[in-house]
Amino acid sequence: MSIRRSILIFIVSLLSASTFADNFLQEPIQLLVPATDLDQRKVILGDRLFHETKLSGDNTISCASCHSLATGGVDRLPFAKGIKGQVGNINTPTVFNSGKNFVQFWNGRAQNLEEQAAGPVHNPGEMGSNWLDVITKLEKDSAYLKQFKEIYNSGPTGEAIVDAIATFERSLVTLNSPFDQYLKGDKDAISPKAKKGYQHFKSLGCAACHQGQGVGGNLFQIFGVAKSLKDSKIKNPNDLGRYLHTNNEFDRYLFKVPMLRNVAVTAPYFHSGQVQTLEGAIRVMAEFQLGRQISDEEVEDIAAFLRSLTGEYKGERLK
């Protein structure tokens, strides 16, 4: 076992100690709040661009093809599909609450939503296009020309396109989950089972990585802290985490910790997309991140808590 992994196990064990949890992690999860000061003109334009197939090389897919707002902001496939039926090699993260992430993509290679939005457009395995072709197509649409000129004082540009899409994505905050109602003082907003699950979540050490407004999304962590993924089907052989971005050996299997907001509606799980159920994902995390075998009752309790994190979009609970 590497020195780094040993240190990480030690830290997680400290975070799971009951005294630490009682003193410092009583409420590690914060109330989810909407983004403020968004230009609503950009939100409207970004919404249209997010659903615009002209951003792809063959006019067949849009951002929403992989990040459907009707299915938890994901495609619910192990790997995303690009133009011409191409299949990617990593699971699609949700777009909901993505503005709360401290970096974007599983390996954190994009610093913000603007960088992230530009990536798929130029990736030959995803949307397979480029700004020149996209702009040429958008300029033929008088409604687009009017919107861009009113907002950006110019026609469509790559910078303006990603700015509008990123602004729209920052508006996709799923408020009013049962757990948020609980945080605001309604103690009956979640079930007794979910309350037990939240206590397990804290005492086991899950909140060491999954905390804040997004219940994650604000730090990197090794996947396989307590137990190596070497012989596990959960491992994605095509994705070595930040190592592929930095070429630093210490970054092998280092990933951005995913947010757990709406996790109950975003299966399959992990970067490999190989775990189909929420309960299965909980067992994986207990075994590989915490080095624990937890009971079926604990799994069910934690799952009930995680389901209480499902919020609303346009007044409707995600499903």
Catalytic residues: 126
Whether 161 and 49 have beta carbons less than 8 Å apart is answered as: yes
Q: Which positions ≥6 away from 219 have C-beta within 8 Å?
A: 102, 209, 256, 257
| CA-CA-CA-CA torsion sign (203, 207, 213, 215) | negative
